[in-house]
């Protein structure tokens, strides 16, 4: 997966499993449409209550295989240390410039976990800097401005700006979440967390509720940074 020169879509997450929770179904839709898709995890989630870094990385690679990703990388920033500072911004800028995605996704900033919101803000900062020709980092990549930037949801049920029908890919989304056994499957040695108590069922229920809004079985919701331009209201 590491020999990709350009991505169509790049999704950032604070921790391995964030992107899967928010938009795994849409990722499979994009892949079925022929787009190259990658995930960039900012941290290794080393402070997680359950599992180890090694287990979580293996689970992330398993989920990547389930989703048929073209790329999955980790920037190894500190868990619970995602501060808006130049070092972190530059690592994300380098990633954006290296893979030149047309569309970028990041977590919505309203979330019970601060790292998720901080990830979204870091990516927003990096997206702007990435497009500035005179913004320099230690890597010599050309400036790149992504065409669009959208937020996905992790925790919570927010009013989306648009929805993507994932009815045909919901089973794959569930499989990608189930790859993270250390996080979502309660065992004798597990510490009780919000993730070990029916979290996947909660995600399924949320996507079912979003789907109901647009008369499909399942959908994922997204927020846009700018108004969406629609030229044909009939959708032909």
Find all residues with CB under 8 Å of 59, minimum gap 6, and list them: 16, 17, 51, 179, 180, 181, 182, 183
Each residue of 188-211: pLDDT tens digit?
778 888 888 899 999 999 999 999
User: 152 is written with which tokens?
Assistant: 């996905």
Res 171: pLDDT: 98
Res 217: pLDDT: 98
Answer yes or no: are the C-beta atoms of 218 and 170 closer than 8 Å. yes
CATH no. for 9-224: 3.40.50.10320
Domain ranges of the chain: 9-224
Each residue of 7-38: pLDDT tens digit?
999 999 999 999 999 999 999 999 999 999 99
Whole-angstrom distance, CA of residue 184 vs CA of residue 182: 6
Each residue of 156-183: pLDDT tens digit?
889 999 999 999 999 999 999 999 999 9
């Amino acid at each position: 997966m590491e020999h990709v020169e350009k991505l169509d879509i790049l999704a950032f997450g604070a921790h391995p499993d964030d992107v899967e929770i928010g938009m795994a179904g849409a990722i499979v839709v994009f892949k079925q449409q022929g787009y190259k898709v990658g995930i960039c995890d900012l941290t290794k989630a080393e402070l997680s209550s359950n599992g180890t870094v090694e287990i979580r990385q293996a689970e992330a690679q398993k989920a990547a295989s389930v989703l048929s990703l073209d790329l999955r990388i980790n920037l190894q920033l500190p868990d619970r240390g995602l501060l808006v500072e130049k070092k972190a911004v530059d690592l994300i800028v380098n990633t954006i410039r290296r893979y030149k995605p047309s569309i970028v996704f990041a977590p919505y900033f309203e979330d019970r976990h601060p790292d998720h919101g901080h990830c979204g803000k870091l990516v927003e900062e990096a997206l702007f800097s990435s497009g500035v020709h005179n913004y320099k980092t230690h890597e010599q990549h050309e400036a790149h401005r992504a065409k669009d930037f959208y937020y996905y949801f992790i925790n919570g049920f927010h009013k989306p700006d648009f929805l993507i029908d994932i009815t045909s890919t919901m089973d794959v989304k569930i499989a990608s979440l189930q790859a993270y056994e250390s996080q979502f499957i309660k065992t004798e040695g597990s510490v009780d967390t919000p993730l070990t108590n029916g979290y996947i069922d909660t995600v399924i229920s949320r996507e079912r509720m979003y789907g109901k809004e647009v008369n499909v079985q399942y959908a994922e919701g997204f927020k846009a940074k700018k108004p969406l331009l629609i030229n044909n209201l009939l959708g032909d």
